[in-house]
Structure formats: structure tokens, C-alpha cells
């Protein structure tokens, strides 16, 4: 990743920083990730509802191909013109292969600090969002990992904070629902060192259930302590508890929220509570028949590890409207079955004809998450991704609740 960062810097060495950075960390985060690769797929910068946010993360530094990178100066100037902080997100699910090496030695950490500082200064960024998936815990399948990852990550961040630029910007991280793995591969019991260097963490409380699961379950459960023990696979409530117990103050925790859901192929005998037209909870699904999802869904391709991955089957919120599941008001369309699960506070829709069931988030579930953020005293929310919403239905719901 380091070499890619350096390469992308060289590519854009003529870009000059402009004044206007708003670098002080915001007290209530209203953020989203902007996926650069969707700029040419219907979500250009001009489509961003800047007035709904105070922070936007450009994703991902690893993917700064020439077209993506050429968008970054415009991203920063549009954000600043709208009073929004412009951050860069580094890594991601497919971009975490070399994090471990980049922080493995003192020399590598220093080089990585320099690359990050150069990126910030060159593009006049207000913050950096590290998206290492995951320290000492395999993500996509071919990431380099080491038992020293979490300790080295902290040393790197401490060195970044010693740099005058690094001291002056907002540092955050996208993190999993359990604390960074320690050298034994267990969730760390003391992350207070990270609380000293990060302004905040954003818990990626999504993809909790998906095509890899044993049944159809909630993509982004608010709660799971009210679910049957076998259905307790993670939630905002349990993740916030785990991180805060390990020493991350709640006012340094931002809740990651999804503007998409996961689809499953479910036949009608499994979909309904027998003898009723009510959707059943946690039904079985046909793993050999993954629905393709919406137009942004991956149709199946070879990943960065060289392995073939089948269709992802994700539906953005707009994709559910496009696909006939939801009305333009974001409610279930006529002929579509709907269930709102009280424990996870998330909805499901089902088209009996196509046999496609989707677990997703709607205005009601975003309102519930917003109220939880407010009542628990969390730092705010960060939505993956800005372009997934339809007519600002989700973002308006969570903004109203927070």
C-alpha cells in the first residue's frame, strides 16, 4: 500500500493545496464515505447532499488510480465550499494487504507517516480514516498479518501524532465490532492507548449476517442481546459495550451505519411462518442461488487475492427502490412482504415471485440507531456509503433522531 500511496502522490505532484482546511475535530460526527469508483456510475460529486454532513471520507487511498485521484482535489474543494471536513480513507476490505508490513519496523512506520503527511498536505485534507481490515485478524484472505500488528499500529499512530501535521488533523479508524486483536489473537482488553491517538473510531456494524451465514439475519443489528443465543452474532449494543469496556470512551465511538442490505434466495415454504403470510425470522436460504443485487452489486470477479468471488448480492437503498421492493417513499411496495425485527430494529422485504429476501436498513431503523447514538452519548454516525441513499430518506431519519 505504501508504494501505491507514493506512486499516486507522484502522479499528482502538480496539485497545489488550497487554503480552507477545517481541521479541529467535530464534536458530533455526521459522516459518510464517498466511494470514488461510483462517481462514474451515477453518483458524481455534484450529487452529494453536502448540507446533511460535517465530514466526508474519500475512499480509498489504495485505489487512487488516475481517474479516482483526479477527483480528489475536486472532492476536497467541494467539501470545503460546503463547510464539510474532507478526510481520506486508507485501506478498506480489498486494500489492507500491506498494512502489517507498513507498520512492522521503525523504518517502515516512519516512511508510512511521511506518506500520510504528504498526502494530507498535498490535498489539504482535514483528516485520515484508517480502514485496516484487520490487525492480526485475516480479512479478505491474503492480507499479511502478524501477532505484533496491534502494538505496531499503535506505535505508528503515536509517531504520526508527533508530526506537526499529524497532530493537527482528525484521525479516525473504521473498526470491527470487537476490539483489535492482541498478540494472541484475542480481542484487546485495553485499547486506551488508541483512545489517546484517535479522535474517534467508527464501528463497522454491518455485514454482521450475509451470504456466508447459516440463515437470513440482520445486516446491521442495533441490538442482539434480545436475540436467541445462536443468533447473537454482533450488534451496535454489544460492539459499543466491548469497545468501551476495553477503554474506548463512548464519546470517541461513532456508529457505522449501512445504506445497503444483503439479499438471499428463500423459497416460500421457508419464507413464511407456516400457515400465515407473516415473514419468518432467520429462515434458511439457498446458498447456491445468490441473487445478483442491484446495478452496483459485484456480479462476480477475481479478487485481489486471485480468488473468484461470486455475486455479492448487495442492494443499496436506492437499489431496493429500483428493484421494485420499495416505493419512492422508502416503504414496502404493493405485493412485497415486509417484516420489522424488533430486537435488531431492522426490516426485511420479500418478493415471493422471485424468491428474493433482503435484510436492510430503512428510515425506521436509522431513527432507532440515531436515538441510540443520542441516548448512549456516542460521537455520531458514519454511513457506508453516501451514494447508497435514496432521496436522503436514510440520512434525514438519522439526522433528525441525533
- Note the residues at the interface with ligand NAG (CB under 6 A): 2, 21, 23, 101, 104-105, 108, 146-148, 164-165, 168, 190, 192-193, 223, 225-226, 237, 267, 269-270, 284, 286, 288-289, 324, 333, 335-336, 351, 353-354, 372
Task: Tell me how far, at minimum, the Cβ of 38 lies from ligand NAG, in Å.
Answer: 24
Rounded distance between C-alpha atoms, residue 233 and residue 224, angstroms: 7
Give the relative orientation of helices 106-123 and 149-162 as an angle to the nearest 10 degrees: 50
Task: Tell me how far, at minimum, the Cβ of 59 lies from ligand NAG, in Å.
Answer: 22
Rounded distance between C-alpha atoms, residue 215 and residue 191, angstroms: 33
For ligand NAG, the closer CB: 101 or 331 = 101
For ligand NAG, the closer CB: 182 or 385 = 182
Phi first, then psi, for residue 128 (nearest 5°) are -130, 130
Rounded distance between C-alpha atoms, residue 137 and residue 232, angstroms: 20
Strand order in the sheet with 314-316: 314-316, 260-265, 356-359, 346-351, 337-341
Task: Tell me how far, at minimum, the Cβ of 47 lies from ligand NAG, in Å.
Answer: 25
Cell of 182: 492482541
Beta strand spans in 124-252 (E):
127-131, 170-175, 200-204
State the distance between the two ends of the chain, measured CA to CA, in whole angstroms: 36
Q: Which residue of this chain has its Cβ atom nearest to ligand NAG in the complex?
A: 324
Long-range Cβ contacts of 225-234 (<8 Å, 24+ apart): 226/342, 226/343, 227/343, 227/344, 231/282, 233/208, 233/209, 234/177, 234/178, 234/205, 234/208
For ligand NAG, the closer CB: 66 or 105 = 105
Rounded distance between C-alpha atoms, residue 108 and residue 89, angstroms: 20
Grid look-up 472532492 returns 75
Task: Tell me how far, at minimum, the Cβ of 351 lies from ligand NAG, in Å.
Answer: 4
Task: Tell me how far, at minimum, the Cβ of 15 lies from ligand NAG, in Å.
Answer: 17
Rounded distance between C-alpha atoms, residue 229 and residue 125, angstroms: 44
For ligand NAG, the closer CB: 49 or 168 = 168
For ligand NAG, the closer CB: 49 or 108 = 108
For ligand NAG, the closer CB: 29 or 227 = 227
Of 92, 81, 192, the C-alpha closest to 139 is: 92
Rounded distance between C-alpha atoms, residue 104 and residue 109, angstroms: 7
Task: Tell me how far, at minimum, the Cβ of 240 lies from ligand NAG, in Å.
Answer: 9
For ligand NAG, the closer CB: 193 or 391 = 193
CA 256 to chain centre: 6
Task: Tell me how far, at minimum, the Cβ of 326 lies from ligand NAG, in Å.
Answer: 10
For ligand NAG, the closer CB: 167 or 278 = 167
Task: Tell me how far, at minimum, the Cβ of 195 lies from ligand NAG, in Å.
Answer: 9
For ligand NAG, the closer CB: 43 or 132 = 132
Task: Tell me how far, at minimum, the Cβ of 181 lies from ligand NAG, in Å.
Answer: 13
Amino acid at each position: 500500500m505504501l508504494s501505491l500511496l507514493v506512486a499516486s502522490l507522484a502522479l499528482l505532484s502538480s496539485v497545489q493545496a488550497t487554503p480552507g482546511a477545517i481541521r479541529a475535530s467535530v464534536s458530533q460526527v455526521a459522516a459518510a464515505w464517498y466511494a470514488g469508483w461510483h462517481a462514474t456510475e451515477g453518483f458524481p460529486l455534484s450529487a452529494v447532499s453536502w448540507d446533511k454532513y460535517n465530514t466526508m471520507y474519500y475512499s480509498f487511498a489504495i485505489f487512487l488510480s488516475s481517474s479516482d485521484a483526479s477527483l480528489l482535489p475536486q472532492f476536497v474543494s467541494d467539501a470545503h465550499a460546503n463547510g464539510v471536513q474532507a478526510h481520506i480513507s486508507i485501506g478498506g476490505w480489498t486494500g489492507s494487504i500491506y498494512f502489517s508490513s507498513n507498520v512492522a519496523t521503525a523504518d517502515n512506520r516512519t516512511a508510512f507517516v511521511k506518506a500520510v503527511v504528504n498526502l494530507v498536505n498535498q490535498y489539504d485534507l482535514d483528516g485520515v480514516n484508517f480502514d485496516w481490515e484487520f490487525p492480526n485478524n485475516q480479512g479478505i484472505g491474503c492480507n499479511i498479518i502478524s501477532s505484533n500488528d496491534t502494538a505496531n499500529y499503535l506505535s505508528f499512530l503515536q509517531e504520526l501524532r508527533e508530526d506537526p501535521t499529524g497532530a493537527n488533523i482528525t484521525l479516525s479508524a473504521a473498526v470491527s465490532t470487537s476490539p483489535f486483536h492482541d498478540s494472541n489473537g484475542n480481542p484487546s482488553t485495553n485499547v486506551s492507548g488508541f483512545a489517546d491517538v484517535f479522535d474517534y473510531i467508527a464501528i463497522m456494524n454491518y455485514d454482521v449476517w450475509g451470504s456466508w451465514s447459516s440463515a437470513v439475519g440482520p445486516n446491521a443489528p442495533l441490538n442482539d442481546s434480545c436475540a436467541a443465543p445462536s443468533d447473537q452474532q454482533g450488534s451496535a449494543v454489544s460492539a459499543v459495550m466491548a469497545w468501551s469496556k476495553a477503554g474506548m470512551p463512548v464519546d470517541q465511538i461513532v456508529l457505522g451505519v449501512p445504506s445497503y442490505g444483503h439479499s438471499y434466495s428463500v423459497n416460500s415454504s421457508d419464507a413464511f411462518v407456516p400457515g400465515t403470510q407473516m415473514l419468518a425470522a432467520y429462515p434458511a436460504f439457498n446458498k447456491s442461488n445468490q441473487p445478483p443485487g442491484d446495478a452496483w452489486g459485484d456480479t462476480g470477479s477475481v479478487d485481489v487475492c486471485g480468488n473468484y468471488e461470486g455475486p455479492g448480492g448487495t442492494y443499496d437503498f436506492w437499489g431496493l427502490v429500483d428493484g421494485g421492493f420499495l416505493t419512492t417513499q422508502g416503504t414496502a411496495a404493493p405485493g412485497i412482504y415486509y417484516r420489522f425485527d424488533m430486537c435488531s430494529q431492522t426490516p426485511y422485504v420479500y418478493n415471493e415471485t422471485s424468491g428474493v429476501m433482503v435484510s436492510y436498513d430503512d428510515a425506521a431503523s436509522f431513527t432507532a440507531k440515531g436515538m441510540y447514538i443520542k441516548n448512549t452519548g456516542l460521537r455520531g454516525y458514519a454511513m457506508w456509503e453516501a451514494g447508497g441513499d435514496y432521496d436522503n430518506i436514510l440520512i434525514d431519519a438519522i439526522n433528525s433522531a441525533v
